[in-house]
Structure 1
Amino acid sequence: MWRDGDFRRLWVGQTVSQLGEHTTLVVLPLFAVLTLDAGAGQLGVLRAVGQAPILLLSLFVGAWVDRWRARTVMVLTDVGRALALGAAAVAGLLGWLGLPALFVVAFAVGALSVFFDVAYQASLVRLVKRDQLVERNSALEGSRSAAQIGGPALGGALVSLLSAPVAAASSALFFALSFLSIRRIRRSEALPKGPERPPRVWRRIHEGLRFVVGDASLRTVCLASAAFQFSLAAVMTVYLLFLPRELHLSGTAVGLALAATGPGALLGSVLAARLPRRFGHGAVLVSAAVLGDGVFLCVPALHGSSAVTLAALLAVNFVFGTGGQLVNVTVMAVRQAVTPDGMQGRAAATITFVGMGLTPLGSLLGGLLAEEWGLRTSLLVTAAGMLLSPLLMALSPLARLGRALPSPAGPATEPRTP
């Protein structure tokens, strides 16, 4: 796998880009609190501004990326994020940066990250053979998991040891390194032929939505993702209250329990490169989802803050991370395999938009249930809700997928321009 120089460059670029992205998620809030004395409400607005591009831009980005070279999109977004964070660092060191400007930086970094994430998913299909998708996705998702584990810790350490502006400059350096790696990709992307005048963006978005809805496997991926993300948002709202208030765990113990998800995700990435080819993609998807989601049903049965309780929580989060990442990698490979090249960006963006769009409502529901029913009952109900995702997959064509990935559903409907 690593003899493929272009994939290696993509992997390196995506890895350091993800590390920069997850470091920034900690650096910017700490910048606001420590340097600009932001209050809790202002900090909440900052986080919301950084997350807003997922809902506001995902569908448009999917339509645009399908017309452009993925490599070009990735290098431009890396440059943009490096410049935005570099400017914030300089302004912070000079005392010129205020909260409104930091909001602009957060939105810009979030928006450019949406472009990068959609483009790198589309780029893999254009770089590797379809029978290599699971293996290569496993490598990419493994590095993303490592970034999710190490990025926040690194961001906090940089702010503590140096300063918030210097930490922002360090985040900009990661994006600069990603740019240097991805720009060295030499393999040209095959651009399908199409009409000279491409349709307008709204029509392209509609075609992406219609394509996902019209394909049984992608439609199920979309619905299962929405069900999972909605339920997970509700679960996590209750879970983060349940651990300290019902189990009386310290902040350190809570952080340790949650951190176990990361190593589990790394294991899931490794297993995703092997299990689908041995047992079939459908069997792996359904069983991993049942195991990873169902394990949370054990948490409401725990009592007290003993070492046994903490060990059980570590095991629960580890299994959840393993199952969840195994599903993520396998689903991504299936989605890429059944989607024509000219629809890759829109398919990824549509699933992201629908899947993540319900998370605010899930969080609100979790808080409401916790107030009305109590933490233990609410956690049991919301955890049970996560099993709707594997149920949807089990009743769909996804469950019948074999060891080989399916073929694309049809020809690309749109051209991509350089």
Structure 2
Amino acid sequence: MPSAASAVSDSGRPVPSSLWRDGDFRSLWVGQTASQLGEHASLVVLPLFAVLTLHAGAGELGVLRAVGQAPILLLSLFVGAWVDRWRARTVMVVTDIGRTLALGAAAVAGLLGWLGLPALLVVAFAVGALSVFFDVAYQASLVRLVQRDQLVRGNSALEGSRSAAQIVGPALGGALVSLLSAAAAAASSALFFALSFLSIRRIRRRESMPEHSERPSRVWRRIHDGVRFVVRETSLRTVCLASAAFQSSFAAMMTVYLLFLPRELHLSGTAVGLALAATGPGALLGSMLAARLPGRFGHGAVLVSAAALADGVFLCVPALHGSPATTLPVLLAVNFVFGAGGQLVNVTVMAVRQAVTPDGMQGRAAATITFVGMGLTPLGSLLGGFLAQEWGLRTSLLVTAAGMMLSPLLMALSPLARLGRILPAALGSGDGNQDTAEN
């Protein structure tokens, strides 16, 4: 494989050895940052509007969160098969337009007084569906834009942008819902998606797409090939199982958490946003550590220890009592630790997945892991709402937080824990039965 310094793109333009000298990578980074900022703001805006303005109960909040997460289960595998045929840039641009329109419509509905729970369900589903396309496409786009020896640095930079979004997004969303209106909060998210569209459309380099056969294979065949690849690759199979255990428990825990903070600890919408925003600085630290720790201590050791720390810290939250002045600093610390450990896991897992996956399978591998890992999140959200109603907020929070610990346990018992400092190579050169990429 040629070095990064001597590489050229499909269009004949040189690929800079430094990522930050690459205008196309900068455009991807800015667009990803804006997109994540809009997404994290909307993830707080819609539930808080339902709880604080519409006075939604635990069951209704669980349904709202489940509807927003349902596209992961319904669409991920199909999206992976489609993204492997399409230009990732095109997918990201189109989905940014769609999310801008969806949240813009929500803002108009709010101004007209029509933004009730049914409208929130429609908006949550639309934004969730489009986000599935964007998330799969941006993961595939990095592999097509940079050389493999730049993947860890590229992922660290992109995940760092997500960390910055986690700092500002929840706090901004919570503050706008509390101080202004749901319409203003929805409009702010729409503006961020519009900024993402403007940035990503500036990418000019043709993506290094894998070769395709002249005769297109059926979508079900492509999905089957992607699932089979992930199942047969030990590291990816373990990532799927651990991710499923974490994401389903985390979805249940967050449903209870978003009720626990305002109702049990009496935090305002702004304080809830600040508590959630503390994940961002922690994630920024995790992104920086991810560029160093796996190469020093081994990818497996970092994955297990970081997951155990990030997931275990939430076990102390159900014990919190007192005024907001007492509980908010503790919540800030908890979310900071969770953000640091969780981001360290995210970046390391993504680097492992991209390293062992051939170029022609990147979209489907990412989608398969998303499908298995996050496909149960709608059920998790519903379970969280049910437990909160039946068992109370504190008990439910403790049980769902304990469930998150299954993820590091599964990784510790698998060969993934023994991955060393050097990432394994991709298993082959990709799928030869894919279609010609479309613009």
TM-score class, shorter: 0.7 to 0.9
Aligned-partner SS, 1:2: helix
Using the alignment, how far apart are the partners of 2:255 and 2:190 within structure 1? 32
Change (3 A) 1:18 1:309: closer
| Gaps in structure 1 of 5+ consecutive residues | none
- Measured against aligned partners, the alpha-carbon deviations of 1:315-372 in whole angstroms (never above 9, x if no partner) come to 3332222111110111011111111111111111111111122234434555666677
Structure 1 equivalent of residue 265 of structure 2? 249
Contact 1:66–1:416 under 8 Å retained in 2: no
Change (3 A) 1:241 1:31: closer
Aligned-partner SS, 2:20: coil
1:202-221 mapped onto 2 (5 Å cutoff): 202-221=220-239
Indicate the larger mover: 86-95 or 106-115. 86-95
Structure 2 equivalent of residue 183 of structure 1? 201
Structure 1 residue 67, shift from structure 2 partner? 0.6
Structure 1 equivalent of residue 437 of structure 2? 417
Contact 1:227–1:355 under 8 Å retained in 2: yes
Structure 1 residue 299, shift from structure 2 partner? 4.4
Aligned-partner SS, 1:189: coil
Using the alignment, how far apart are the partners of 2:282 and 2:178 within structure 1? 28
Using the alignment, how far apart are the partners of 2:93 and 2:103 within structure 1? 16
- Measured against aligned partners, the alpha-carbon deviations of 1:70-99 in whole angstroms (never above 9, x if no partner) come to 011111212222334445555666788887
Using the alignment, how far apart are the partners of 2:389 and 2:190 within structure 1? 42
Indicate the larger mover: 176-185 or 157-166. 157-166
1:52-91 mapped onto 2 (5 Å cutoff): 52-87=70-105, 89=107
Q: Does residue 1:385 correspond to 2:403, yes or no?
A: yes
Contact 2:145–2:208 under 8 Å retained in 1: no
Structure 1 residue 58, shift from structure 2 partner? 1.2
Change (3 A) 1:240 1:405: same
**Aligned counterpart in structure 2 of residue 339 of structure 1, from 357, 366, 370:** 357
**Aligned counterpart in structure 1 of residue 56 of structure 2, from 40, 43, 49:** 40
Contact 1:130–1:337 under 8 Å retained in 2: yes
- Measured against aligned partners, the alpha-carbon deviations of 1:158-214 in whole angstroms (never above 9, x if no partner) come to 566665555544433322221221122122112222321222112221211111111
Using the alignment, how far apart are the partners of 1:399 and 1:196 within structure 2? 41
Structure 2 equivalent of residue 108 of structure 1? 126
| Gaps in structure 2 of 5+ consecutive residues | 1-18
1:3-402 mapped onto 2 (5 Å cutoff): 3-26=21-44, 40=56, 47-87=65-105, 89=107, 103-158=121-176, 164-165=182-183, 167-237=185-255, 249-252=265-268, 257-299=275-317, 311-366=329-384, 379-402=397-420
* AA of the residue aligned to 1:225: S
Using the alignment, how far apart are the partners of 2:402 and 2:47 within structure 1? 33
Aligned-partner SS, 2:424: coil
Structure 1 residue 301, shift from structure 2 partner? 5.8
* AA of the residue aligned to 2:87: R
Aligned-partner SS, 1:402: coil
Aligned-partner SS, 2:156: helix
Indicate the larger mover: 8-17 or 88-97. 88-97
Using the alignment, how far apart are the partners of 1:23 and 1:297 within structure 2? 26
Structure 1 residue 65, shift from structure 2 partner? 0.4
The alignment's TM-score, normalised by the length of structure 2, stands at 0.81
Using the alignment, how far apart are the partners of 2:68 and 2:281 within structure 1? 26
* AA of the residue aligned to 1:263: P
Indicate the larger mover: 353-362 or 41-50. 41-50
Using the alignment, how far apart are the partners of 2:321 and 2:114 within structure 1? 50
Contact 1:66–1:342 under 8 Å retained in 2: yes
Change (3 A) 1:280 1:96: closer
Using the alignment, how far apart are the partners of 1:321 and 1:408 within structure 2? 29
Superposition RMSD in Å? 3.5
Indicate the larger mover: 8-17 or 402-411. 402-411
Change (3 A) 1:306 1:162: closer
* AA of the residue aligned to 1:251: L
Change (3 A) 1:392 1:416: farther
Contact 1:192–1:415 under 8 Å retained in 2: no
Using the alignment, how far apart are the partners of 1:276 and 1:286 within structure 2? 11
Contact 1:17–1:178 under 8 Å retained in 2: yes
Using the alignment, how far apart are the partners of 1:319 and 1:388 within structure 2? 18
Using the alignment, how far apart are the partners of 1:235 and 1:205 within structure 2? 31
* AA of the residue aligned to 1:40: A
Contact 2:239–2:349 under 8 Å retained in 1: yes
Change (3 A) 1:131 1:397: farther
Change (3 A) 1:272 1:373: same
Query: % of aligned pairs identical?
Result: 85
- Measured against aligned partners, the alpha-carbon deviations of 1:255-306 in whole angstroms (never above 9, x if no partner) come to 6544433322221112112211222211111111122222334445666569
The alignment's TM-score, normalised by the length of structure 1, stands at 0.85
Using the alignment, how far apart are the partners of 2:178 and 2:258 within structure 1? 25
- Measured against aligned partners, the alpha-carbon deviations of 1:190-241 in whole angstroms (never above 9, x if no partner) come to 2222321222112221211111111100000000001112232344455566
